[in-house]
Copies of this chain bind each other. A is one copy, B any other.
Amino acid sequence: MAASFIEPKILKGFRDFLPASEIPRRALIETIERCFRLYGFVPIDTPALEYAEILLGKGGGETEKQIYRFKDHGDRDVALRFDLTVPFARFIAEHRAGLPLPFKRYHIAKVWRGENTQRGRYREFTQCDFDIVGSAGAAADFEILLMIRHALTAAGAGDLIIKINHRGLFNRFLDCLGLPDRSAKILRAVDKLGKAGAEETRSALSSIAGGSRADEILAFIQNRGSFEETLAEITRASGGESPESRRLSDLRAFMVENGIAGSFALDPSITRGLDYYTGVVYETFLTGLPDIGSVCSGGRYDNLAGLYSKEAVCGVGSSIGLDRLIAALEALGKLDARPSYSEAAVACIKEEDAGRCQVLARSLRDAGIPCEVFLEKGKLSKQCALAEKKGVKWLIIPGESPLEDPLTLRDLERRENREGVSLEEIRRLLRPCSGELTGKA
């Protein structure tokens, strides 16, 4: 039979993760997850596929164009989730009565957008959301800010600046300018400042609010002194002390008490594009790599599940852009790209010793040391090369009788052999590797 093969290829914008990229990706997720758990946050999961009506809401527009939507076998109009916020809103509306409030959850999962891939974006990517719902105070805002700093620092992102602002205060300022009705448009125009530049933003603002108002707005968002100076300026420009300005000064006090004020800046040009934010908003920039853009953004909202329920649920949350963070860590040389978890490997001298080699390996595994057993006989030099390629540090070479005779331990980094060692000595020497990768410490 002349075989015809199906070409093994994947869709544009989608990716295979080979071990060398999946191992650091998983390690990063585990680090972030460990941080969330230390704050008492709990995981949830929701379906990848939902009713299109649920996901699109009143939406349409950009989302509608990007969403993977189709009819299922029962002719239902369904779609793949394009973010984790909309499913979370539906989740809260559906399960609110059974959840202890405030509810602190995280959700790390894939989402899908059939968008144009030209800007190096993917059609399948991982989001990493964490939110506190049912708590309106500064304490909740601060906890999320603290977690952003903690999670990114634990991930190895180095120094960072979390730029915060308060949408409510911005709106008070627009009220003072007599522009309350144009708030959404103005906030969106300001949100694009980074990408569009000052010139284009001025012209956008002019067409929304007129030239002189545009200049006042530009002056407002260019306040970039110390936190206190900026807060004083924007408080004055927004009509004086208000609950919103007090929220910012409360947050500032919390930062100082925690000795982390240096990681935060008050930046009135931060507005976030999404309409549902109503309170503090923030974006996070890495000092070592500012041009990559915000790696973690979010804010406070008054009414998360308004599309699905008449009960207003407020909250505050954030989302780590995992792919962007990985790209940043890679660029900073902070991504450990080890292609294996194994600390040690047992060489294969005789294939009939496979059972006994597993007994050797077990003794290390029981001590939490990842130990691979090589399955194929071959030149020892080849086995050493394979182990090195995998990033394995130690090769255990069994003797004639693996469980009775002394062993040889090869240090693959130094390329040195220690002859005549016992399994017990090896176990003592190879302390378990860090919890990062194996979950054992």
Partner-B contacts on A (CB < 8 A): 3, 5-11, 14-19, 22-23, 25-26, 30, 33-34, 37-51, 53-54, 57, 65, 68, 70-73, 76, 78, 80, 90-91, 93-95, 98-100, 102, 104-105, 110, 112, 114, 123-124, 132, 135, 137-140, 142-143, 146, 250, 253-258, 305-310, 339-342, 345, 348, 351-352, 354-359, 361-362, 365, 368-373, 375-376, 386, 389-390, 392, 435, 437-441
| Complex alpha-carbon distance, A195 and B7, angstroms | 38
| Complex alpha-carbon distance, A102 and B19, angstroms | 14
- Of the candidates A18, A309, A348, A389, the one having the most CB atoms from chain B within 10 angstroms of its own CB is A18
| Complex alpha-carbon distance, A293 and B357, angstroms | 32
| Contact, CB under 8 Å: A42 / B19 | yes
| Contact, CB under 8 Å: A23 / B43 | yes
Check A370/B6 contact, CB under 8 A, given A16-B94, A375-B132: no
| Contact, CB under 8 Å: B354 / A142 | yes
| Contact, CB under 8 Å: B355 / A40 | no
From B25, B48, B140, A48 is in contact (CB under 8 Å) with B48
From B100, B110, B310, A389 is in contact (CB under 8 Å) with B100
From B18, B47, B390, A10 is in contact (CB under 8 Å) with B47
| Contact, CB under 8 Å: B42 / A124 | no
By DSSP majority rule, is chain A's interface helix, strand, loop, or mixed? mixed
| Complex alpha-carbon distance, A14 and B48, angstroms | 9
Shortest A71–chain B CB gap in Å is: 8
Shortest A35–chain B CB gap in Å is: 8
Shortest A108–chain B CB gap in Å is: 10
Check A310/B48 contact, CB under 8 A, given A16-B91, A439-B439: no
| Complex alpha-carbon distance, A26 and B143, angstroms | 24
